A and B are shown apart, each in its own frame.
Chain A
Amino acid sequence: MTPVLKMTHINKRFGAGHTEVDALTDVNFSVEAGQFVSIIGPSGSGKSTFLTIAGGLQSPSDGSIHINGTELSHMNAKQLSEVRFNQLGFILQASNLIPFLKVAEQFDLVEKLTHQSIQARVESLLKSLDIEDLKQKYPKELSGGERQRVAIARALSNDPSLILADEPTASLDSEHAYEVVKILAREAHEQNKAIIMVTHDERMTQWSDEVYRIEDGKLKIKED
């Protein structure tokens, strides 16, 4: 089976000469459909750089990235934007919702941009995340946990194969944080999605199929 995301010999350097910094060093990584993978690391470890490269937001200095078998390094900004829109979902720390759209309208916007009906999909997502009653609310009217659940639904709404979650629990108390991580694990397994979660919180990794540790730009599988 083709991995959903495959990163081979990725290096990322910032700056040049004596100010040069290696953000990522020889990173090899792949994730398959139905896998929920956690990447754990302290701040400054290269987590965010890893995520931005995996998401096609910046290109690596060396190495190659394939999403569903397609190489990203030759794509222009517009093509990358299309890949992100169709194949990737982002869940961000603070929430990726648009503040002036009601919950239901967040999905209407996706529908308008894809020109495909996603209503049935959205309905079942909202049901499984138990946020059906929030459709007519604005993001600011939701609690942090509700907001992240809507954000998960938004990220899954256009049926991407890969979800990148950047510290999705950072703004939540532990009870809500556990709940969000459990949902992510469930969606990965039930919907057959590849989900990568980046976090600094060890406690959040217990539902993951695999846990990696990133430190000083080097990615290693975590051994307990």
Chain B
Amino acid sequence: MYLAWKEMRYAKLRYALIIGVMVLVAYVVFMLTGLADGLADGNKQAVVDWKASSVILSNDSNKIASASSMKQSDLKRVSVSDKNKAGVGYFPTAVQHQKKSEKQNVSVLGAKKSSFVVPNVTKGRLYQNKHEIIISQNLANLGYHLNQKVKLGSDSKLYKIVGFSKATKFSEVPVIYLNLNAFATLKYGDQVFKNNGEKPLSLIAIKKQSANKLTVSQSSDDTKLDKLSVNTFIQNIPGYSAQNVTLGAMIGFLFVVVAAIIGIFMYVMTLQKTSLFGVMKAQGIKTSYLAKSIVGQALIVGVVGVAIAFVLGYLTGFGLPETMPYSTDLGQWLLDGIVLILVAIIGGLFSIRTVTKVDPINAIGGE
């Protein structure tokens, strides 16, 4: 490492440049990771907040909440205690200020106010009747406030904001909670139901019971229901997997780019130094020492580059607009950082063969 450090100190500009490239690539990796995590969170956050273990959807929905439809009476078919199951209505729509024309897309979730999926209210109170709603903090930040009346979907009656919950998203838009009757009206308008059991639900969320241990009774005229783990449910949110795979592939490709950049740089540096390596070998300095020095430099470039990019990426998180989904998952970044440093070292390893092949005989004058 002594040689590695001293050479980097001597050739500051060269190594500053390569560290600069390393910083840029690592920064892009962190940004993409932040973006991937942000998008993923935005897609699923509300469901994650439920802390549910499994989800039941209608069989014909093909595992997608917006296409799933069942009746409130279907709740009884699930063999779990009442406090561990929650009927949820999901309706993607838009919210509008009473007197303004601009609209904001939201995910409306209907649930009994006592059920476990309803978030804690951070300000104000829970909804008590059909035309009261609680909104997530990120929607409040867009200019909505307590006791304000807003228009939801195509319902001509106004809804009153009575509480805020912590910021969350589902399907990339902020979340509104309201009761199941309001959900029924938003989704089916003025349609009259024979009794409460006939009223609609989109899905049932289950706590503390894994999907394969759940039993759901099934008779011939019941809606066919599917049991899924929460994880499967999230993977099937439209766009979720596609997004993750795409961004993941880009990140993976950048790892290869890092190995190539460091590999090429160290290789060129090694070629420039072959005569010096010849002299050093003639002096009896071991090849392994020279090889360690090259790998050491790749390690230093990797560690310094990743550390700078880490700080930059972290600071970037504070400067981005609300509309850009970005989430700083330090655990994931740490993993990215370790992989980046490892591929930098692999890049350095390419040059070792060249060092091994340098013949010390070349150090002595040419005849």
Contacts and interface: CB of A to CB of B under 8 A. Distances in A.
Interface of A: 43-44, 46-49, 51-52, 55, 57-58, 78, 81-86, 88-90, 92-93, 96, 98-101, 105, 108-109, 112-113, 138, 166-167, 198
A48 B3 contact: no
A81 B287 CA distance: 9
SS class, residues of chain A in contact with chain B: mixed
A23 to B, nearest CB: 8
Instruction: Give the one of B276, B286, B366, B367 with max A CB within 10 A.
Output: B367
Interface residues of B, number: 26
Interface string B265-304: 0000000000010011111111101000000000000000
Residue of A43, A46, A57, A101 with highest tally of chain B CB at under 10 A: A57
Interface of B: 2-3, 6-7, 9-11, 276, 279-287, 289, 359-361, 363-367
Given A43-B367, A57-B363, 10 more contacts: A48-B367, A81-B285, A85-B285, A90-B282, A90-B283, A96-B279, A99-B276, A100-B10, A101-B6, A108-B2
**Binding site of B, secondary structure by majority: helix, strand, loop or mixed?**
helix
Contacts of B360: 57
B282 A84 contact: yes
A98 B280 contact: yes
Contacts of B365: 47-48, 51, 92-93, 166-167, 198
Contacts of B361: 52, 57-58
A167 to B, nearest CB: 6
23 contacts: A44-B367, A48-B365, A57-B359, A57-B364, A78-B286, A81-B281, A83-B284, A84-B284, A85-B283, A85-B284, A85-B286, A88-B284, A89-B283, A92-B364, A93-B365, A98-B3, A98-B276, A99-B10, A100-B9, A101-B10, A109-B2, A112-B2, A198-B365
B6 A100 contact: yes
A128 to B, nearest CB: 21
Contacts of B363: 57, 90, 92, 96
Nearest to A97: B279
B364 A100 contact: no
Contacts of A100: 6-7, 9-11
Contacts of A44: 367
A8 B279 CA distance: 27
B2 A55 contact: no
Contact of A49 (B283, B287, B359, B367): B367
**Which of B10, B276, B283 is packed against the most chain A CB atoms within 10 Å?**
B283
